A and B are shown apart, each in its own frame.
Chain A
Amino acid sequence: MSDPGEEELDPGDALPEPDDSLRSMLRGALREEGPAPDVLAGVQKKIRERSKGKFYADGWSTAKHPPLNTYLITSLLMLAILGISYALLSPLVGSPEPVRNQPAPVQVIPAH
């Protein structure tokens, strides 16, 4: 931090203000160019990755103990999908052709 050989001024000492021209040139050289970027999304992503989804997770797929509603909604959703699939596909299914399953007549060969 502090350089051991660094001379320390008395805190009460008023430091002469810098040369105004140097200061204005310094400010000119370091002025803001363009708007500051939006870093929030990047920060959230980094925190999500480093916390392995503990923070800024979507709260659904990455939660360690998903709430009961998650299971309930998932089950109902699956049932609804199955029901809709059945309703859509059942008219396409034809009725089976009847099969005659009577035994063929037996020809009895007379004995000679």
Chain B
Amino acid sequence: MADRRDDAAHPVYLQSGVTDAADQAERKFIERLAQRDERAFNELVELYEARVFRLLLRMLGRRDEAEDMAQEVFVQIFKAVGTFRGDSKLSTWIYRVSVNLCKNRMKYLSRRHTAGEDELEPVAERAPLDEAKGVTFGDVAQPDRLVEGYQMERVLQTCISELEPDFREVLILRDVEDLSYEELSEITGLPDGTVKSRLHRARAMLKASVERKMGEKIR
């Protein structure tokens, strides 16, 4: 799915619309990158910055950290692009670099106790879980539902930030970024079976954590 998004995003692919031509264009693009062509690298940053930033923001939960990390990801890509052998899609490799750097950063932040400081205060009088389903903070038409949705979002954000980086990674890549199991396997470097098992555990942990915090079951 992500690959289709890449194809659509790349100007050369838009013109050709043929997979072989797209692969060839990507190979040429990678060659230019390996030769440290600054214009090609600028193009790469412009193509992927939004996606990388969004992923990092979801993983880290902090905009300033995500922006700084996104810059670091592209610096590392610039340094290491010569080692990219083209075994996977360029986008998958970029995701892998992003995720690895992000996990290192999360470990560093958790050691410094800066992550997860935003403890959710116990909510004495809150709405039942099913009333908050599908309601987001953007829903301003009904103030009551808005508060419920906001409450739910805060709980989820807290629960996600409490998940271990390895679980958070697969959960976000699959359930939010919509990547395939194959892509997940390439990004994490884990066998398909382990990816599925980890994802299953991540979902169960998140669900249990949300239910524990809200004091009722998600239906």
Contacts and interface: CB of A to CB of B under 8 A. Distances in A.
Contacts of B78: 43, 47, 55
B188 A43 contact: no
A26 B152 contact: no
A47 to B, nearest CB: 6
A25 B152 contact: yes
A24 B193 CA distance: 25
Interface in B73-116: 74-75, 78
B136 A37 contact: no
Given A6-B198, A24-B134, A46-B75, A29 B160 contact: yes
Interface residues of A, number: 40
A23 B203 CA distance: 9
Interface string B49-78: 110011001100000000100111011001
A19 interface: yes
Interface in A1-60: 1-3, 6-11, 13, 15-16, 18-19, 21-32, 35-40, 42-44, 46-47, 50, 55-56
Given A24-B133, A39-B74, A1 B218 contact: no
B22 interface: no
Nearest to A49: B75
Q: Determine chain A's interface SS by DSSP, over half rule.
A: loop
Contacts of A29: 152-153, 156-157, 160
B78 to A, nearest CB: 6
B219 A39 contact: no
B23 interface: no
Contacts of B149: 28
B160 A1 contact: no
Contacts of A6: 194, 197-198
13 contacts: A2-B190, A2-B194, A8-B193, A9-B197, A25-B132, A26-B176, A27-B176, A29-B157, A29-B160, A30-B176, A39-B53, A40-B46, A46-B71
